[in-house]
Amino acid sequence: MAKPIEMLVDRLATPIGELLIVADRAGNLRTIDWTDHEARMRQLLDRQYGKGAYTLGTARDPGGLTRAMRAYFKGDLAAIDSLPVETAGTPFQRSVWRTLRRIRSGGTISYAELARRIGKPKAVRAAGLANGQNPISIVVPCHRVIGSDGSLTGYGGGLPRKQWLLEHEGALPA
């Protein structure tokens, strides 16, 4: 049996709730979620890595990730652009998540555009599902995907948080 992946958890108070930041020992961001969705985060980790395939400990600022997230929330939007991430997920999901990282702060795209950018223009729903299963919100900016009509749709942290993030980044008027 393989040795469990050691993951370290830190918490960060933000203007829109407390954030859980989970990194591996190498400093790669594994997941981010809101403390009011901690049970969902644990289910996601179980699904991605398997029950018993990881451990969760606590650490202050693992890999400098908490410091970068704090800077982002204080207005340094570029602070999160090059953070190292490591995800499980299918090859299709990982292709969607890589594409999300290419959406610039202050910009948005539609689900149809997301599907087109991964080279599967007919896979709008599948791209939307992969977007919704993104384990690293904010850094892998699933909040930057909106409806074709410009509406704010779907965000695991809730639409008020999605709106705040887009306003914070200048993608929506405040």
| 18 within some domain | yes
Domain, as residue range, for 109: 91-168
Q: Examine residue 162 and state whether it is found in any structural domain, yes or no.
A: yes
Residue 143's pLDDT is what?
96
Number of other CB atoms surrounding residue 125 within 10 Å: 10
Predicted pLDDT at 172:
84
Please say if the pLDDT value at position 10 is more than 80. yes
Report how many domains make up the chain.
2
Over residues 57-81, the mean pLDDT reads 97
Q: Are 141 and 115 found together in one domain?
A: yes
Q: Is residue 97 assigned to a domain?
A: yes
pTM of the model: 0.93
For the domain that residue 120 is a member of, what is the CATH number?
1.10.10.10
Q: What is the pLDDT of residue 156?
A: 84
Stretch 38-45: mean pLDDT, rounded? 92
Residues 110 and 134 in one domain: yes
- Residue 38 lies inside a defined structural domain of this protein: yes
Give which of 137, 151, 144 is closest to 168, Cα–Cα. 144
Same domain, 68 and 99: no
- The CB density around residue 42, as the number of other CB atoms within 10 Å, is 15
Domain-located, residue 173: no
**82-109 pLDDT tens trace:** 999 999 899 999 999 999 999 999 999 9
55 domain residue, yes or no: yes
Domain end marker among 61, 80, 99: 80
pLDDT of residue 174: 65
Summarize pLDDT for 113-141 with one digit per residue, the tens.
Answer: 999 999 999 999 999 999 999 999 999 99
141 falls within a domain: yes
**CATH number of domain containing 75:** 3.30.160
pLDDT of residue 154 exceeding 90: no
In this structure, is residue 86 part of a structural domain?
Answer: no
Is residue 74 predicted with pLDDT exceeding 70? yes
Assess whether pLDDT exceeds 80 at residue 1.
no
Last residue of a domain, one of 80, 113, 128: 80
Residue entry with tokens 């398997």? 50
Top-confidence residue, 18 or 154: 18
CB 171 within 8 A of CB 164: no
Domain edge (last residue) among 35, 57, 80 = 80
Same domain, 71 and 97: no
Three-state secondary-structure class, residue 130: helix
Annotated catalytic sites, by residue?
Answer: 142
pLDDT band at 58 (very low <50, low <70, confident <90, very high): very high
